[in-house]
Homo-oligomer: A and B are copies of this chain.
Amino acid sequence: MSAVSAADPAAIDPAAIDLAAIGAMDKADPLSAFRARFVLPEGVIYLDGNSLGAASSAALAELGKAAGQEWSHDLIRAWNSAGWFDMPLRLGDRIGRLVGAAEGQVVVTDTTSINIYKALHAALAMRPGRSVIVAEGGSFPTDLYMAEGVVSSRPGTSLKLEGVDAPTIEDLIDDSVAVVLVNHVNYKTGELRDMAALTRRIHEAGAMAVWDLCHSAGALPVELDAVGADFAVGCTYKYLNGGPGAPAFIYAARRHHDDIVQPLSGWWGHARPFAMERGYAGASGIQRFQCGTQPVLSMRALKGALDIWDEVDMTALREKSLALTDLFIALVEARCGQYGVSLETTRDRARRGSQVSFAHANAYEVMQALIERGVIGDFRAPATLRFGFTPLYTSYRDVWDAVGILEEILSSGIWKEPRFAVRAAVT
């Protein structure tokens, strides 16, 4: 066990780890019981929960109830009787607990892209003398595309990017900046930002902070209220296991609620949606970020997933996440280092999310070969092997076995076979 509780992967001695040691780690895992709550396919080691989280029995049961009972039998009445109408707010509060937000500040609605649009507009409206949006050149692209969309519809505004207009995001923050849009964990490298320090820096410059939590919500403890974040967005289909394309969430700090102005002013954000009034009057509170009718069935799967999250201790989750990634880094470097893989993720625990990326010149082909052998990770262009570690259903044994298969694929060179070079539509 000492190998796993070490502070960083360099402190692990891979030679000291064998199947017995791995078995001991799983036995000592305080989260191990959660695995039985998920429906996982046979013969698969799933290291892609950071793209699409696994299905749980609870999510499937909620979905079945929503469709087979509520929709089928209660029909329109279910909007009241089954609480469909309030679901975005109730689920928002439950996500709030996982991201450090007190009640009434998170709502589940629309997509991450659209919520970014809302948050950027709201932030710009609250900083009328300022015209610059700052974001990361290495951001998940849709963040930048949506920022471009905001700029296109607000004359006089502009977008500046870390890695393009300046080396670091801090270099870009001055008194022209209205809002900084930043990913808590980078989707590709797994780099974790210091949310407290960067939010402080943004506020010192008089700007607003919008945090994208897609790769941190459900992966590690997030403290939105404590760090004084202004807005945040995130998806629910990765670590939160809400189901494919499950609706996203948006957070606004309570101190901003009376000042939120955003142009996606649909009826679900109206103070009295069913009064059918002619003019828009925004609801008080986080409801003002709602727009149109939400996908109830997808949202009900998310509800089931969140039933499990209610039981999770986020500190234990984080400790296991780091132990899994420490172990994976140490084992891959020891056993596969000679085959052209090089670590893209930091060794520093304080700056690491719950994923590990390795560069390899033929990352696409290697990932296809891994998938054929049942180890499912992600390829990210141009040359990244990305592996997500979801502490609720990933075991130390999974890590051990995945590294063994990766070693076989690299040492045998089987990934060079032509079938692994065929490109699928979505990779």
Residues of A near any B CB (own CB < 8 A): 39, 41, 44, 46, 48, 51-52, 54-55, 59-60, 63-64, 66-68, 70-80, 84-86, 110-114, 117, 121, 137, 140-142, 144-146, 148-150, 152-155, 161, 164, 188, 235, 237, 243-248, 261-270, 273-280, 291-299, 301, 371, 376, 378, 380-381, 424-427
CB contact under 8 A between A114 and B266, given known A75-B46, A424-B80: yes
Q: With both chains docked as a complex, state the minimum distance between the C-beta of A92 and any C-beta of chain B, in angstroms.
A: 16
Contact of A270 among B145, B291, B294, B426 (CB under 8 A): B145
Q: Once the chains bind, are A52 and B76 in contact (CB under 8 Å)?
A: yes
Cα A137 to Cα B278 in complex, Å, equals: 7
Cα A268 to Cα B149 in complex, Å, equals: 14
Return 25 A-B CB contacts under 8 Å, by A number: A39-B72, A44-B75, A52-B75, A63-B297, A64-B64, A66-B244, A77-B371, A79-B244, A80-B425, A80-B426, A110-B110, A110-B114, A110-B292, A111-B291, A137-B278, A141-B273, A144-B279, A148-B279, A152-B265, A153-B153, A153-B154, A244-B296, A245-B297, A275-B381, A297-B298
Q: Once the chains bind, are A243 and B297 in contact (CB under 8 Å)?
A: yes
List 10 tightest A-B contacts by C-beta distance, closest first. A111-B292, A113-B266, A113-B292, A295-B298, A244-B296, A149-B263, A142-B267, A295-B295, A149-B265, A145-B280
Cα A243 to Cα B72 in complex, Å, equals: 9
CB contact under 8 A between A293 and B114, given known A75-B52, A276-B380, A280-B145: no
Q: Once the chains bind, are B76 and A117 in contact (CB under 8 Å)?
A: no
Q: Once the chains bind, are B264 and A146 in contact (CB under 8 Å)?
A: yes
A291: B residues at CB distance < 8 A: 111, 113-114
Q: Once the chains bind, are B295 and A246 in contact (CB under 8 Å)?
A: yes
Q: Once the chains bind, are B60 and A67 in contact (CB under 8 Å)?
A: yes
Contact of A426 among B152, B274, B425 (CB under 8 A): B274
A380: B residues at CB distance < 8 A: 276
Cα A47 to Cα B269 in complex, Å, equals: 27
CB contact under 8 A between A293 and B141, given known A72-B41, A148-B279: no
A117: B residues at CB distance < 8 A: 263-264
Given contacts A111-B294, A141-B273, A141-B277, 9 further A-B contacts (CB under 8 A): A63-B297, A112-B292, A144-B280, A148-B265, A153-B263, A188-B276, A237-B293, A245-B294, A295-B298
Q: Once the chains bind, are B52 and A244 in contact (CB under 8 Å)?
A: no
Residue on B nearest A39 in the bound complex, by CB: B72
Residue on B nearest A248 in the bound complex, by CB: B292
A268: B residues at CB distance < 8 A: 113
Contact of A245 among B75, B137, B296, B376 (CB under 8 A): B296
Q: Once the chains bind, are B111 and A293 in contact (CB under 8 Å)?
A: yes
Q: Once the chains bind, are B75 and A264 in contact (CB under 8 Å)?
A: no
A146: B residues at CB distance < 8 A: 264-266
Q: Once the chains bind, are B266 and A142 in contact (CB under 8 Å)?
A: yes
Determine which residue in A46, A298, A371 has the highest number of CB atoms from chain B within 10 A of its CB, and name it: A298
Residue on B nearest A247 in the bound complex, by CB: B295
Cα A68 to Cα B71 in complex, Å, equals: 18
A140: B residues at CB distance < 8 A: 276
Cα A386 to Cα B68 in complex, Å, equals: 26
A150: B residues at CB distance < 8 A: 263
A266: B residues at CB distance < 8 A: 111, 113-114, 142, 145-146, 149
A299: B residues at CB distance < 8 A: 245, 295
A263: B residues at CB distance < 8 A: 117, 149-150, 152-153
A371: B residues at CB distance < 8 A: 77
CB contact under 8 A between A425 and B52, given known A111-B293, A237-B293, A296-B243: no
A243: B residues at CB distance < 8 A: 67, 71, 296-297
Residue on B nearest A80 in the bound complex, by CB: B424
A244: B residues at CB distance < 8 A: 66, 70-71, 78-79, 84, 295-297
A267: B residues at CB distance < 8 A: 113, 141-142, 145
